[in-house]
Amino acid sequence: MKNRQMEQFQEIFGTRGEGLYFSPGRVNLIGEHIDYNGGTVLPCAITCGTWGVAAKRTDRKLRMYSQNFKDRGVIETDLSDLRFDPKDDWANYVKGVLYFLRETIGEWPCGLDIFVEGDIPNGAGLSSSASLEVLIGTMVNDLFCLGKTPLDIVRLSKKAENDFVGVNCGIMDQFAVGMGRKDHAVALDTRTLEYDYIPARFPGVRLVIMNTNKRRGLADSKYNERREACEAALKNLQQALDISCLCQLSPEELEKYEHLIADPVGRGRARHAVTENARVKAAVNALRRQDIRRFGQLMNESHISLRDDYEVTGKELDALVESAWKQPGVLGARMTGAGFGGCAVALVKEDWVDAFVKQVGDDYTRAIGYAPDFYMPAVGDGAGKRNTQSDGD
């Protein structure tokens, strides 16, 4: 098999790689900030992602190289001593997954060389970290015949992100990356982990991802603040209601009981979670009947709720989305991912895409002072072994 990543692996490690793997990024179509509130989310895997090649070693070393962080060279550690180290940067995601995999298999039979290369912009909210985690889990599971299911890898990758890297995310990203399916969105009930694949072909319509190019900065602390506000609101509601998460309530039920939420800001946070969950249900129905227009309206309403009730958009995402709404041929647009920067997503009629990119690009640059980027990946499969590079593109 001739493949660029396989060749690069050989150049760096001086030995042949044993297999080529791909793990996608994700874009969430609707259902934002509710994967930690027991809601239903609707992400899909995209054809941008992370490639990986690995091979077993005869000693117990773990050696890792990323083509995206060439300056850092090969990062080396011992497989029996995996610890978070801020200076190892991207390699902590690899170590985290291997750390928790080891808990389930006992000791590693031998060491590993790992090469990765990705085309998901870092920090853009398209899940480059979940892509890397799930890639490592998938690769190592296969190489060592560990017998883990894709869902095991998803759970383990989330654990690595929460408990090794220390980011308190929900399960949506790892799930979409590990379980995504070509041309389908995944409707995932994050309370029960029941899921369903919904055909997500939009005839004559393109999925356009718009990157604010704003680094997320304080995003993690603000993300955690939102989670805490939801937890506090839930506690207040539990005085009168037998519920384990906010998304068990309908918007009507919340209206009846929202006076119990002590903090007025918390009331807005809860309102977003509950109404967003209702929007996802409506969006799934719209997608099933191929009613893209209705789907687009729900995307717009989702953005407004994230802007006004959840307050996670910020001026950059609002500038992109509000410009997108004004363009001809646009069915819907909203921020996607955690917010505070990162990306937005729009559904745009094919004939209008060029004009859309030009106009939204100009509007954004005028308002914010620098240019956005646009990507148009297809909806692809979840992580797995690939024979050639074109399998994932």
Residue closer to ligand GLA (CB basis): 136 or 230: 230
Q: Between 124 and 320, whose beta carbon lies closer to ligand GLA?
A: 124
**Residues in CB range of 291: below 8 A, 6 or more apart:** none
Q: Give the separation between CA 73 and CA 65, rounded to whole angstroms.
A: 6
Q: How far is CA 79 from the centre of its chain?
A: 28
> CB 33 → ligand GLA: shortest distance, Å?
5
Closest contact distance (angstroms) between CB of 332 and ligand GLA is 17
Q: From 120, 124, 310, 151, select the one nearest 217 (Cα to Cα).
A: 124
Of residues 173, 309, 363, 381, which has the active-site annotation? 173
* Token duo for residue 316: 């950059």
Intra-chain end-to-end CA distance of the chain, in Å? 17
* Alpha-carbon span 306 to 247, nearest angstrom: 16
**Which residue ranges make up the site for ligand GLA (CB under 6 A)?**
32-33, 35-36, 169-170, 172-173, 337-338
Q: Give the shortest CB-249-to-ligand GLA separation in angstroms.
A: 18
| Closer residue to ligand GLA in complex, CB, 32/309 | 32
CA distances from 135 to 132, 233, 244, 324 (A): 5, 36, 32, 33
Query: Scanning the structure block, which residue is given the tokens 């006076």?
Result: 259
In whole angstroms, the minimum distance from the beta carbon of 290 to ligand GLA comes to 25
C-beta atoms surrounding 304 within 10 Å: 13
Closer residue to ligand GLA (CB): 112 or 153: 153
Report, in angstroms and rounded to the nearest whole number, the Rg of the chain calculated over CA atoms: 21
Nearer to ligand GLA by Cβ, of 173 and 322: the residue is 173
Q: Which is nearer to ligand GLA, 12 or 282 (CB)?
A: 282
183 is catalytic: no
* Phi, psi for 83 (deg, rounded to 5): -130, 150
Residue 176 C-beta: closest distance to ligand GLA, Å: 10
Q: Hunting for tokens 């998803």 — which residue is that?
A: 154
Beta bridge partners of 205: 349
CB atoms within 10 A of CB 217: 11
**Nearest to ligand GLA by Cβ — which residue?**
169
Q: Which is nearer to ligand GLA, 34 or 53 (CB)?
A: 34
- For 333, 346, 356, the CA distances from 324, given in Å and listed in that order, are 7, 7, 7
To the nearest whole angstrom, how small is the minimum distance from the Cβ of residue 84 to ligand GLA?
Answer: 18
Contacts of range 231-236, beta carbons closer than 8 Å, 24 or more positions apart:
232/261, 232/262, 232/263, 232/266, 233/261, 233/263, 233/266, 233/267, 233/269, 233/270, 234/37, 234/270, 236/260, 236/261, 236/262, 236/266
Shortest reach from residue 3's CB to ligand GLA, in Å: 30
Residues known to be catalytic: 173
